[in-house]
Chain A
Amino acid sequence: MKPRLTLRWIVFAVAVFVMNFPVISTLVTAFKSPGEVSRNPSLWIETPTFENFATVLTTSDRLNIYNYLWNSTVAAGIGAVLPIVVAFPLAWAIVRRGVGRAILFPLVVNLRALPLIIFAIPIYMMFSVAGLLDTRLGLGLILAVVNLPLALMLLVNAVAEIPHEIEEAAHMDGARLPRLLFRIVLPLCRPALITTFIFGFITAWNEFLFGLMLTTSKAVPMTVGASFFFATSGGGVQWGVAAAVMVVAALPPLALGLVMYRRITGSLVAGAVKG
């Protein structure tokens, strides 16, 4: 019996339209000239133009979008890679040796549920002493904390799925711990490593609070930089330009997310159920 899908297609379309209404509106507005924005706020574009994108992608003294993009890329890169580096050895130790199962693992996993503002203030103080305020490294470090819980959880799941006999076979083949970890376990965790990286990169790219608090000019990430375009300077917000900025800012995570949606959805569910 084939279920009738027509009505479901309609519900799907309505749901997608309503939930994505801001995204659609922004996309449409980004292709309108300043004149058209004030005259025609509808979802219909009379004369499409790339004018706004040209403005956005032209460097100006006040706003340099390439800086923001680069800052976000570096900080999100650190924020996605560092958790994997520190969590991988522990994940193996948790699964195979039961290390930290009582305290460390639940502690890290529960970090995920805490309001980020709790960390933001003391970290602000620490960074100001350590000279890490307004640096990409400082931002990357704290984004790594944000990503740590899910990274640990996904890697623990991945290690647990490796048949124990394969590791025993490596032992019998004379492999000590380093060779076992780097030549057997790490390659077998590759899918989980990729997922963890992509998920972490998107999360880090999308983070706002730490960017807002811990950067001021040099290391401002894209999310915070985009909000600058909404600062009314004299003649109010230039909606077309602001919309184009948001399109650029949202594009990298969206592209990654859409291409890798299976990995994303899987890890989201895993993270929720285990936590």
Chain B
Amino acid sequence: MASLHLEHLTKTFGNQTVTRNVSLSVEDGAFCVFVGPSGCGKSTLLRLIAGLEEASSGRIMVADRDVTKVPAYDRDLAMVFQSYALYPHMTVRDNIAFSLRTAKRPEDEVAAKIAEAARILKLEDLLDRKPAQLSGGQRQRVAIGRAIVKQPKLFLFDEPLSNLDAELRVHMRVEIARLHRDLGTTVIYVTHDQVEAMTLATKIVVLRAGEVEQVGSPLQLFDDPDNIFVAGFIGSPQMNFFKAKHQGGRLFATDFPDQSCQAPALSAALAEGQDVTVGLRPQFMGLEGNASLELMIEVVEHLGSETLVHARPPGSAQMMTALVADGRNLAPGQAFVARFDPDRLMVFDATGKRLR
């Protein structure tokens, strides 16, 4: 168990910078998720922490010890790989025991720890099988078992659920959350799936193009994103955006003919005639509120408890999505007046920065 501090961490491959000047603190016991689109450098960042890549500059501190130049095998961390990376020639038991035997621990301690891990992960009946004889979910559990027996300072997870089918993924997500609660070890977890990030994390780090966009708890990022990228990346369904011009306290949609709504109350005044991007979460569009947009329904998806409405303003091709609580009577072709509270609107300037 340990804290993690990254200081101005940069990694370049040739002339390509994969992570740029990343500074970050993860406190002891946190579940920290690195999330971002593919190519954002999240996996590289994890591999830098693991010691599988060497940092070009900057420092990595684990439990207040500088490990920047320490090779992977001496960092005392554990990692669960996307492909599980189980040793195919060893039984489950030997896979789990490998790190302990590498450290030359006494065999009775090894046996005790294997039994403990097998109990926690329900692997008791599988200990003498080879990885090839296991299902995807079982392999995943073995990989986790291999990580927990060494009682590492940090658990590193590299997209551990992306090779599982949807049902198993939800199940394993819950398992990992439970494991973290029981063991209390600091976790660094990489995923491209923002749902995983939202459900698992105590702390989310949103990355784009090798740089940190925003750090915060799941709800902080949902409620109060710093910029248009984080606003669009976090939250499902994705936030609706439209271009607008500010005039006299109202926002006039640039691309929707003859539509406008009241601007939200902001601490920094909007300039008259300023071009902005307006964001509105589908969850906040419904049948009630002081402001509204007039839309035409194109597609209706009934999810049972809620209804997902895909609609566009007349005379525009831009689709908007609304998540409506009571939408059973809605049908394609109908007019739909999407109502909302104007204070739910988020306003971003031309550079994408949030105006609060």
Direct contact of A and B (CB under 8 A): yes
Q: Give Cα distance in the complex from A188 to B76, angstroms.
A: 25
Establish whether residues B98 and A170, one from each chain, have CB atoms under 8 Å apart when the complex forms.
yes
The answer, yes or no, to whether B9 is at the interface (CB within 8 Å) is no
Chain B residues, CB < 8 A from A171: 51-52, 71-73
Establish whether residues B73 and A163, one from each chain, have CB atoms under 8 Å apart when the complex forms.
no
9 pairs across A/B with beta carbons < 8 Å? A163-B83, A169-B86, A169-B146, A173-B146, A174-B99, A174-B103, A174-B150, A176-B73, A184-B87
Among A168, A175, A188, point to the contact of B52 (Cβ < 8 A): A168
Q: Give Cα distance in the complex from A173 to B77, angstroms.
A: 8
Chain A residues, CB < 8 A from B52: 168, 171-172
Establish whether residues B85 and A173, one from each chain, have CB atoms under 8 Å apart when the complex forms.
no
Most-contacted residue by chain B among A172, A176, A184, A190 (CB, 10 A):
A172
Cβ contacts B92-106/A at 8 Å (1 or 0 each): 000000110011000
Which 8 A-B pairs rank lowest in CB-CB distance, beginning with the nearest? A173-B99, A165-B85, A169-B85, A171-B72, A174-B102, A187-B89, A172-B79, A174-B73
The answer, yes or no, to whether B50 is at the interface (CB within 8 Å) is yes
The answer, yes or no, to whether B315 is at the interface (CB within 8 Å) is no
The answer, yes or no, to whether A15 is at the interface (CB within 8 Å) is no
CB of A170 to closest CB in B, whole Å? 7
Given known pairs A174-B73, A174-B150, A176-B73, the reply for A169 and B102 (CB within 8 Å) is: no
Q: Which residue in chain A gives the minimum CB-CB distance to B82? A: A165
Q: Which residue in chain A gives the minimum CB-CB distance to B76? A: A174
Establish whether residues B77 and A165, one from each chain, have CB atoms under 8 Å apart when the complex forms.
no
Establish whether residues A170 and B81, one from each chain, have CB atoms under 8 Å apart when the complex forms.
no
Establish whether residues A169 and B87, one from each chain, have CB atoms under 8 Å apart when the complex forms.
yes
Q: Which residue in chain B gives the minimum CB-CB distance to A179? A: B102
Count B-side interface residues using an 8 Å CB cutoff.
26
Cβ contacts B20-54/A at 8 Å (1 or 0 each): 00000000000000000000000000000011100
A168-B79, A169-B146, A188-B88 provided; 4 other pairs, C-beta below 8 A?
Answer: A171-B71, A173-B73, A174-B99, A187-B89
CB of A186 to closest CB in B, whole Å? 10
Given known pairs A165-B81, A176-B73, the reply for A170 and B103 (CB within 8 Å) is: no
Q: Which residue in chain B gives the minimum CB-CB distance to A176? A: B73
Chain B residues, CB < 8 A from A121: none
Count A-side interface residues using an 8 Å CB cutoff.
18
The answer, yes or no, to whether B297 is at the interface (CB within 8 Å) is no
The answer, yes or no, to whether A116 is at the interface (CB within 8 Å) is no
The answer, yes or no, to whether B78 is at the interface (CB within 8 Å) is yes
Q: Which residue in chain B gives the minimum CB-CB distance to A186? A: B89
Cβ contacts B44-73/A at 8 Å (1 or 0 each): 000000111000000000000000000111
Name the interface residues of A172-210: CB closer than 8 Å to any CB of B.
Answer: 172-176, 179, 183-184, 187-188, 190
Establish whether residues B79 and A169, one from each chain, have CB atoms under 8 Å apart when the complex forms.
yes
Q: Give Cα distance in the complex from A188 to B132, angstroms.
A: 14
Chain A residues, CB < 8 A from B79: 168-169, 172
CB of B236 to closest CB in A, whole Å? 30
Q: Which residue in chain A gives the minimum CB-CB distance to B50? A: A172
Given known pairs A165-B81, A175-B73, A175-B102, the reply for A170 and B87 (CB within 8 Å) is: yes
The answer, yes or no, to whether A254 is at the interface (CB within 8 Å) is no
Establish whether residues A165 and B83, one from each chain, have CB atoms under 8 Å apart when the complex forms.
yes
Chain B residues, CB < 8 A from A190: 89
Establish whether residues A169 and B81, one from each chain, have CB atoms under 8 Å apart when the complex forms.
yes
Q: Which residue in chain B gives the minimum CB-CB distance to A172? A: B79
Q: Give Cα distance in the complex from A176 to B81, angstroms.
A: 19
Name the interface residues of B78-131: CB closer than 8 Å to any CB of A.
Answer: 78-79, 81-83, 85-89, 98-99, 102-103
Chain A residues, CB < 8 A from B102: 173-175, 179
Chain B residues, CB < 8 A from A173: 73, 78, 98-99, 102, 146, 150
Establish whether residues A188 and B89, one from each chain, have CB atoms under 8 Å apart when the complex forms.
yes
Chain A residues, CB < 8 A from B88: 166, 188
Establish whether residues B83 and A172, one from each chain, have CB atoms under 8 Å apart when the complex forms.
no
Given known pairs A174-B150, A176-B73, the reply for A168 and B85 (CB within 8 Å) is: yes
Q: Which residue in chain B gives the minimum CB-CB distance to A173? A: B99
Q: Give Cα distance in the complex from A219 to B11, angstroms.
A: 60
Q: Give Cα distance in the complex from A179 to B150, angstroms.
A: 17
Chain A residues, CB < 8 A from B72: 168, 171-172
CB of A182 to closest CB in B, whole Å? 12
Q: Give Cα distance in the complex from A171 to B73, angstroms.
A: 5
Q: Which residue in chain A gives the minimum CB-CB distance to B72? A: A171
Q: Which residue in chain A gives the minimum CB-CB distance to B51? A: A171
CB of B186 to closest CB in A, whole Å? 16
Chain A residues, CB < 8 A from B146: 169, 173
Chain B residues, CB < 8 A from A168: 50, 52, 72, 79, 81, 85
CB of B150 to closest CB in A, whole Å? 7
Chain B residues, CB < 8 A from A187: 89
Chain B residues, CB < 8 A from A183: 98
Q: Which residue in chain B gives the minimum CB-CB distance to A168? A: B52
CB of A265 to closest CB in B, whole Å? 25
Given known pairs A163-B83, A179-B102, the reply for A172 and B89 (CB within 8 Å) is: no
Q: Give Cα distance in the complex from A173 to B52, angstroms.
A: 12
Chain A residues, CB < 8 A from B86: 166, 169
CB of A233 to closest CB in B, whole Å? 55
CB of B242 to closest CB in A, whole Å? 44
